[in-house]
Amino acid sequence: MTERKPPGIGFESWIDKQIREAQDRGEFDDLPGAGKPIPGQGEPDNEFWWVKEYIRREGLSTEALLPTPLRLRKEIERLPETVDGLRTEQAVRDVVNKLNLRIVAWLRAPSGPQVHVAPVNADDVVQQWRATRHVAAQPATAAVSNDEEPPKPTRWWRRRARRRRESG
């Protein structure tokens, strides 16, 4: 391969000659992937193939590629699942307020497609959160008002001290 092209021979014929000689010597036998189809063969050409491959290889979410208003709308749609695991009403309101801040920031300086996105009503989200928690917590102990946080459990050493006082 280090030999120079002889003068008077075209590049194409010289390269073809080198390939043919390498085939005759068997240098292309037993290459990895021999006899297997070429990956992506027959698929339409896409100028962003490398982005798709990177996302697939790294296991990333494609949501990061969405324009801001579409990402915000997806967050609004997933809001009930997001707040479902939260324990207090204030935590639910904090999540809604953070989302609303991002929505208002986008509304002040919109970029990307003009998709309607409006701030979320925190009271509606809290009401829905209460309804799902009430259904899930019905078989539990004494009913707690929806406006109050559930009572904190008593620490073990306080329960122990109370038992000692009561028994002794």
Residues 71 and 83 sit within 8 Å (Cβ to Cβ): no
- Residue 78: inside a domain, yes or no? yes
- List the domain range (segments joined by +) for residue 91: 66-138
Residue 44 lies in a domain: no
Is residue 131 a part of any domain in this protein? Answer: yes
| Residue 56 domain-assigned (yes or no) | no
| pLDDT tens sequence across 35-94 | 888 877 777 788 888 888 888 899 888 887 889 999 999 999 999 999 998 889 999 999
pLDDT for the residue numbered 126: 92
97 CB-near residues (< 8 Å, 6+ apart):
122
Residue 99 has pLDDT above 90, yes or no: yes
User: In this structure, are residues 125 and 92 in contact, taking their beta carbons and an 8 Å threshold?
Assistant: yes
Residue keyed to tokens 């929505």: 103
Query: What pLDDT was estimated at residue 148?
Result: 63
**106-152 pLDDT per residue, tens:** 999 988 888 899 999 999 999 999 888 876 665 545 555 556 666 66
Domain tally, the chain: 1
In a domain, 121, yes or no: yes
Dist CA 57 CA 77 (whole Å) = 28
CA-to-CA distance for 80 and 125, rounded, in angstroms?
7
